[in-house]
Structure 1
Amino acid sequence: MSAVGAAAPARRRRTLLGPETYELVFGTVYTGLMTNLLLVVACLPLVALVAATRVSSTWPLVALAAPLLGPALAAAFAVFAAFSADGSTTVVRTFARAWRRHLRRGLAIGALATAVVVVLAVDVLFFWGRTAGAAVIPVLVTLAAGAVVTAVLALAAVPETGDARLRDVLLAALVLGARRWYVSAGVLAVLGLLVSVVVVRPAVGLGFAAAPLLFAVWGACRFALRPSPRV
């Protein structure tokens, strides 16, 4: 009885750690690391500016390069969708195809979000230390956060909306992001965590943390973009 009892857990361990499990683990790790590399390549001018210069001095150049995040994030979200759907690990091909296909709309979304955030940031600096700042600055910060969330939601929707008009995609992202504000707050929290990791430890943030955190953002965006159930 003892030999039989000892053999059963061993068989269960072999079953749990079968070839499919190893394939899933290595596929997940490969997808994450390769997505991180492709994100860095797609945003190389922005990464170089942030890593090699003082952003406080070169922020106009950073703002010019920031729209590159648009098509890069859309392509990364397409990779996550393919991996979640069927375990696809053709990361380079999926990323490159999605980047080319959504380049124009991704750049447009990135440029629009960057412009809104820059204008609002300038307004915050203008009102900083003034009497009206206590009332105006929280509104401006909220608007900037809303612009970021709307852009990320739109970029998550772009690979799945086909030929939908960009205006319709942005409007849907704005409305659903506001309606599911708790999801939007979570998206902002994860993005804030990613930015903080990249600022403090760029190699760790860009090399390891970006893909899993962006995957969490993508999953939250997918939930936020679901049509509301009819009552």
Structure 2
Amino acid sequence: MTGLRILRPARQETYEKVFATVYAGLVTNLLLTLSCAPLLLALAVVRDPLASWPFFAALSAVCAPALAGAFRCFALVEEGSTAVLAAFWGGYRRAFGRAVIVWLAGAAAMSVLAVDAMVAGRFAWGPALVPFFVTAAGLVMAVAVAVLVVVTESPRGVRGLIRPCLYLVARRWYLMAPTLAVLALAVTFVLVKPLLGLLLGLAPLLYAVWATTRYVVLPLLPGS
């Protein structure tokens, strides 16, 4: 007859790590909300955002440095730091220009693909091009996220990162495909349930996006 094992309480370090992770996630959500406030406010005011999509495509660039700041927070949390505000601001400030360039370039490419898809849809052979447009859009988004992850941790320029990021993303497509699904889930969560999405759900989902993408682009990061 085996004796019952007495469950030992978790170590103090475990509680501290859990608390630090939850704290970092909540603060990151708050900072993301504040940084993206212009876009969120415009979406709340305008009744039909699709009718003004060029305006919103340009305004969405405010999210780029905010994502860079969030990615920097995730990196420091992995190292055990709890200086979330300093990490967010540091990543936001250092990657601001390059992040905006990446975002606007990606938005422009997605806009071109959307217009081309609408034009092609008017023809009988249009549905045959659906796989092409879906794949191209996925590549654009994946490369944009990959470049954002790299510029958050590296001083390299955007132009020199496009090709290597495209190669790595295409090589690890089986990792990036579910990553894009998680990213789409994060955006949908925020649009459908803004309060819960912004205050609770955003950071965990973005962390999953960051962690997987960082693994994919690890050869491009300093010290690799």
The amino acid that maps onto 2:70 is A
Whether contact under 8 Å (1:191, 1:217) holds in the other structure is yes
Structure 1, gaps ≥5 residues long: none
CA distance in 1, matches of 2:45, 2:182: 25
Q: Secondary structure at the match of 1:102?
A: helix
Shift, 1:154, TM fit: 0.6
Residue 226 of structure 1 is matched in structure 2 by 218
Residue 205 of structure 1 is matched in structure 2 by 197
Residue 67 of structure 1 is matched in structure 2 by 61
**Among residues 128, 132, 150, which one is paired with 2:143 in the alignment?**
150
Greater C-alpha radius of gyration: 1
Deviation per CA, 1:44-66: give whole Å up to 9, x if none: 11122223323222322211111
Within the alignment, does 1:28 sit opposite 2:25 as a pair? no
Residue 78 of structure 1 is matched in structure 2 by 72
Runs (4+) of structure 1 exceeding 3 A deviation are none
Whether contact under 8 Å (1:120, 1:141) holds in the other structure is no
CA RMSD of aligned residues (A): 1.8
CA distance in 1, matches of 2:58, 2:14: 44
CA distance in 2, matches of 1:61, 1:202: 21
Normalising by structure 1, what TM-score?
0.88
The amino acid that maps onto 1:9 is I
CA distance in 1, matches of 2:43, 2:137: 20
**Among residues 90, 100, 104, which one is paired with 2:93 in the alignment?**
100
Whether contact under 8 Å (2:179, 2:212) holds in the other structure is yes
Q: Secondary structure at the match of 1:164?
A: coil
Residue 185 of structure 1 is matched in structure 2 by 177
Normalising by structure 2, what TM-score?
0.90
Whether contact under 8 Å (1:36, 1:206) holds in the other structure is yes
Shift, 1:118, TM fit: 1.1
CA distance in 1, matches of 2:90, 2:140: 27
Shift, 1:124, TM fit: 1.4
Structure 2, gaps ≥5 residues long: none
Residue 132 of structure 1 is matched in structure 2 by 125
The amino acid that maps onto 1:184 is M
TM alignment of 1:31-42, pairs within 5 A: 31-42=24-35
- Paired residues, number: 217
CA distance in 2, matches of 1:106, 1:185: 22
Residue 174 of structure 1 is matched in structure 2 by 166
Residue 9 of structure 1 is matched in structure 2 by 6
Q: Secondary structure at the match of 1:171?
A: helix
CA distance in 1, matches of 2:184, 2:91: 25
Shift, 1:119, TM fit: 1.3
